[in-house]
Amino acid sequence: QVQLVESGGGLVQPGGSLRLSCAASGGSFSTYTMAWFRQAPGKEREFVGAIRWIGGTTYSADSIEGRFTISRDNAKNTAYLQMNGLKPEDTAVYYCAAREGYVSLRESDNTRSYDYWGQGTQVTVSS
């Protein structure tokens, strides 16, 4: 059974930074695409970015304006979301998602493209 566990969320002041982690287990992740989504209260789940497990190709949402970076450590089966320059509008529950195999750029921002989801971690940006 594939499991994804996010960690690293919390309360941060505007302009601050956080690094979220997504630890994966229960599968062979050498060919998985990992993604991050977020969901603010009353809003739909929104794509943040994705990274292919092989090659490390990344896709990012325009809304993050280059402030966030996705990376991964294959040896640890862990994906990361480094968030810098945080703004109050970044406040949301952040979810990790995964799918075995290739996910195209066109598919990457669709929640239905992913088969596995973590439980989410809360990020609150406030002074």
84 by Cβ neighbours in 10 Å (0-12 / 13-18 / 19+) ranks as middle
- Higher-confidence residue of 32 and 124: namely 124
- Mean pLDDT score of the chain: 92
List, for residues 98-117, the tens digit of each pLDDT value: 999 888 888 999 999 999 99
The residue that leads in pLDDT, 82 or 64, is 82
Task: Confirm if 67 and 82 have CB atoms less than 8 A apart.
Answer: no
pLDDT 10s digits, 33-74: 999 999 999 999 999 999 987 777 888 888 888 899 999 888
Token pair in block for residue 97: 């998602």
- φ/ψ of residue 103, rounded to 5: -125, 120
Quickly count: other Cβ atoms within 10 Å of residue 108's Cβ.
21
Are 5 and 23 contacting, i.e. CB atoms less than 8 angstroms apart? yes
- The Cα–Cα gap between 4 and 91 comes to 21
